[in-house]
Structure 1
Amino acid sequence: MATYKKRGYKPKKEKVTQEVEETFDETQSTTAEVFNTLDETANKSEQWIEKNSKPLFYGLITVAALILLYLGYNKFIAEPTQKEASNELAHPRVLFDEAMNSAGAKADSLFNLALIGGVNGKYGFTDIADKFSGTKAGNLANYYAGVSYLKMKKYEEAIEYLGSFSSDDAILGPTALGAIGDAFADINQPEDALEYYEKAANKKDNQFTTPLFLFKAAQIAMDLKKYSKAESLYTTIKEKYADSDQGRDIEKYINSAKYAQ
């Protein structure tokens, strides 16, 4: 007997359509909720801004004023002061350079003039360091003052001014620390001298100051009978700075430290 399908009987399609409609309705509902949340957040933000409009306005004015003050300070105070300090520093530096090329009483006299100034109303290093502290020239005046006092064998003053100097320059930074080490060595404070020589050696790695202060540190370590430390410092010169002045005959120093132990 033949079989047939009744027309119009599609229960599965109706079920799928119902599921799609339900899914669509859920999606619509979720989207609506998201937009409602966004609207609420926006409204709250607007209300907060309206409520705090005056503090926000005054805050912006304050920030703008601070920026203008900073720019004005640099333009009309910091830059002119720095220029004035640099100009003042030129005179004692001439005396300093002349003193470095002199000896004895003449050198001391020139260093003293460079320190205290007074010639034709010019400032000396100590005046510049004090009056223009915070400027590059004022900072540099501390270095020159410290070295001047060191050359005059006024070690406490040298340590004070050199300690007030700071620099990341590859030569000046280590040299200032090494000069403090020299001052401590000259007043028979070898532990302090060793500390500053090592600081100087580690400040900026280069082929000039690093081996120089490693060598000075090693010599102080030998005086302190810290032979193992001295050997290590000498060996570092051999391994890393063999072409430096200190590296040329370093083997004999290594052996002296080794056999002293």
Structure 2
Amino acid sequence: MPTHKKEIMATYKKRGYKPKTQKEKVEHIEEESTTAEVFNTLDESASKTEEWVIKNQNYIFGVVGVVALVVLAIMGYNKFIAEPNAQEAMNEMTVAQGYFDEALNATEKDSLFTLSLEGGEGKYGMLDIIKEYGSTPAGNLANYYAGMAYLNMNKYQEAIKHLGDFSSDDLMLSAISQGGIGDAFVQLNQLEDGLSYYEKAIKTNANDFTTPLYLKKAAIVAMNLGNNQKALDYLNRIKTEFPKSDDAKDIDVLIGKASASL
């Protein structure tokens, strides 16, 4: 746009200005016409939007209503169904958990682990809790207990299944469940799978109990697989990072054995 024309248009914006020359009058009329067209377009668009809303208001209100019902349903489910179910499941689990704890310290373990799994005294066992309350925290935890019970009963496939179905934000419990799967695979002579789960347990949580335990198990399995360098790396970690752990007591013997095989 020429400079002179810009100056004229800028002048139009001043309050009270009236065009003087014929050229200014023409340009002023053109500008007013353009402005009118813009406002007409906006009015038409607004009118069309209003018409669309009026025409589809039943649909719009229906969608809003459905969303509101879903939100209310979720809130109601959590308050009146999910929360009571979770508490009920934890209450039902008490007896089965008692059997499990007894079995850990008993001479005859299998019968108590069976009661923990299948129930007794008219109460649910861990398998019932999983079936009836599988979506609750108690149902999830029951998978851990069931998996460890089966592991102690030498039923390794069942142990792998239930421990695999368990998940937890508790890093210690998560590491133990991964290590339990590793134990089951080793007992099934699936050493590579066992080593993989021991390594997962090592990475899950660093602590003075599970870390040296699974480092040692991983080292022994690695030696059996002929991977003595990996075994040596794990054994040296125990000696360096966990020298006061129970798993460090015979560590020099194992380090000597792994080194000799390199």
TM-score class, shorter-chain normalisation, is: 0.7 to 0.9
* Matched residue, 1:94: 98
* Matched residue, 1:232: 233
Greater CA drift, 137-146 or 207-216: 207-216
Residue-by-residue CA offset, 1:64-123 (whole Å, 9 max, x unaligned) = 0001110111111111111111001011111111111112x2x2211111111132x111
d(CA) in 2 for partners of 1:97, 1:73: 33
CA contact (8 A) 1:190 1:224 kept: yes
Q: How many residues align?
A: 243
RMSD across aligned C-alpha pairs, in angstroms?
2.8
- Is 1:23 aligned with 2:6? no
- Is 1:63 aligned with 2:64? no
* Matched residue, 2:204: 203
Q: Report the CA distance shift for 1:17/1:113 in structure 2 as closer, same or farther (over 3 A).
A: closer
Q: Report the CA distance shift for 1:96/1:25 in structure 2 as closer, same or farther (over 3 A).
A: same
Q: Which amino acid aligns with 1:55?
A: Y
1:235 Cα deviation from its structure 2 partner = 3.5
Unpaired stretches in structure 2, ≥5 consecutive residues: 15-27
1:242 Cα deviation from its structure 2 partner = 4.8
Question: What SS is found at the alignment partner of 1:167?
Answer: coil
d(CA) in 1 for partners of 2:5, 2:189: 99
Q: Report the CA distance shift for 1:122/1:39 in structure 2 as closer, same or farther (over 3 A).
A: same
Residue-by-residue CA offset, 1:31-65 (whole Å, 9 max, x unaligned) = 94765665454344333322322211111000000
Q: Report the CA distance shift for 1:39/1:232 in structure 2 as closer, same or farther (over 3 A).
A: farther
Question: What SS is found at the alignment partner of 2:160?
Answer: helix
* Matched residue, 1:139: 140
Question: What SS is found at the alignment partner of 2:171?
Answer: coil
Q: Report the CA distance shift for 1:240/1:47 in structure 2 as closer, same or farther (over 3 A).
A: farther
Greater CA drift, 229-238 or 58-67: 229-238
1:169 Cα deviation from its structure 2 partner = 1.0
Q: Report the CA distance shift for 1:194/1:35 in structure 2 as closer, same or farther (over 3 A).
A: same
CA contact (8 A) 1:81 1:132 kept: yes
d(CA) in 1 for partners of 2:44, 2:236: 73
d(CA) in 2 for partners of 1:189, 1:201: 19
Q: Which amino acid aligns with 1:102?
A: A
Q: Report the CA distance shift for 1:171/1:19 in structure 2 as closer, same or farther (over 3 A).
A: closer
d(CA) in 1 for partners of 2:242, 2:12: 80
Q: Which amino acid aligns with 2:10?
A: T
Q: Which amino acid aligns with 2:88?
A: E
* Matched residue, 1:174: 175
CA contact (8 A) 1:166 1:173 kept: yes
Q: Report the CA distance shift for 1:255/1:23 in structure 2 as closer, same or farther (over 3 A).
A: farther
Match of 1:54 among 55, 58, 77: 58
Q: Report the CA distance shift for 1:42/1:257 in structure 2 as closer, same or farther (over 3 A).
A: farther
d(CA) in 2 for partners of 1:240, 1:46: 72
d(CA) in 2 for partners of 1:102, 1:89: 20
d(CA) in 2 for partners of 1:114, 1:257: 41
Greater CA drift, 63-72 or 154-163: 154-163
CA contact (8 A) 1:201 1:210 kept: yes
Q: Which amino acid aligns with 2:67?
A: V
Unpaired stretches in structure 1, ≥5 consecutive residues: 1-15
Q: Which amino acid aligns with 1:22?
A: M
* Matched residue, 1:9: none
d(CA) in 2 for partners of 1:259, 1:195: 24
Q: Which amino acid aligns with 1:211?
A: P
